[in-house]
Amino acid sequence: MGKATSAFEQKYGPWALVTGASDGIGRAFAEELARRGVHVVLVARRRLQLEQLATTLTQTYGVQCQVLVANLSDAQGVQQVLDNSTGRDVGLVVCAAGFGTSGPFLQNDLATELDMLQVNCGALAALSWGLGQRLVQRGRGGLVLLSSVVAFQGVPRSAHYAATKAYVQTLSEGLREEWRELGVQVLAVAPGPVRSGFAARSQMSMARAEDPQVVARASLDALGRTGTVRPGLLAKLLGYSLALAPRWGRVRIMGRVMAGMARRT
């Protein structure tokens, strides 16, 4: 194990907890953490995918894995994660579970919208609070929250999803300052489109999408160095090109972008 890996494991190990670990960005984070020598608590709804991933990570990298099957759309699932992870010295938490919706807000199913609000915001807040207590008690560690390029302005045809990510971005920025002197690093990850199951569930078409591994690797490299990272070329391009536009202008531009991606109008 090289020096960089040893330093990362010493600072954020020996265990990390990753939600949404069965697919996409969450799975990529779990794989990258294992590659860096950190044991991983894998959290998602699908047991089979988690068990297969755990076997792969153990055989490939020699790390330990704990599988926690939980539905974060209800409070019981969140509590299961908190209760069943107490036996691990978790030094890094990655909240990657989440999903999105697209299309006109009034045409979407309200129950689905409220489930999204719970997973993207409610569960994330509860886990940040509960696991954050343990990180602060340790006196060191890290919290990674999945924001998005849509978090920085309203986005027509994805209005509610963008609002949930604005919540995540704002929470991350505040916690970073609160926890800085307590030894815990907080990072908001604001990627653009990423190749995962997200597009299918949100009914969006993503012609250009980043590899989840790029997102995970760039994010872990940025942890402790900055408050927000935009991993991948497309995320940087969108972020920097919109930075000087007034907020109302960003809303209109992102609305056009979303119109090209949403399958339902």
Q: What six digits make up the tokens of 54?
A: 């755990």
Residue with tokens 């539905």: 71
**Bridge partner residues of 228 (DSSP):** 188
What span, in angstroms and rounded, lies between the C-alpha atoms of 218 and 223? 9
CATH number, domain with residue 127: 3.40.50.720
pLDDT tens track for 40-55: 999 999 999 999 999 9
Per-residue model confidence (pLDDT) at position 261: 65
- The pair of structure tokens assigned to 70 is 């939980």
Domain, as residue range, for 43: 3-261
The confidence score (pLDDT) of residue 235 equals 80
As a whole number of angstroms, the distance between CA 15 and CA 13 comes to 5
Phi, psi of 52 (to 5 degrees): -65, -40
* Burial class of 39 by CB neighbour count within 10 A (0 to 12, 13 to 18, 19+): buried
Q: Which two tokens stand for residue 96?
A: 């990657």
Q: Are strands 228-229 and 90-95 parallel, antiparallel or unpaired?
A: unpaired
pLDDT band at 5 (very low <50, low <70, confident <90, very high): low
Tens-place pLDDT, residues 132-176: 999 999 999 999 999 999 999 999 999 999 999 999 999 999 999
Omega before residue 191 within 30° of 0, cis: no
Longest dimension (CA), the chain: 53
Number of domains in the chain: 1
Contact 145, 131 (CB under 8 A): no
Catalytic residue positions, numbered:
161
pTM as predicted: 0.89
- Tell me the chain's radius of gyration from C-alpha atoms: 18
Q: Name the nearest CA neighbour of 100 among 38, 47, 168.
A: 168
Q: What secondary structure does DSSP assign to 82-148, as a single string?
A: HHHTTTS-EEEEEE-------S-GGGS-HHHHHHHHIIIIIIHHHHHHHHHHHHHHHT-EEEEEE--
Query: 10 Å Cβ neighbour count for 259?
Result: 13
Where residue 108 falls among pLDDT bands split at 50, 70, 90? very high
Tokens representing residue 209 in the block: 């999408």
Beta strands in 3-61 (DSSP E): 15-19, 39-44
Q: By CB neighbour count within 10 A (0-12 exposed, 13-18 middle, 19+ buried), where does 107 fall? A: exposed
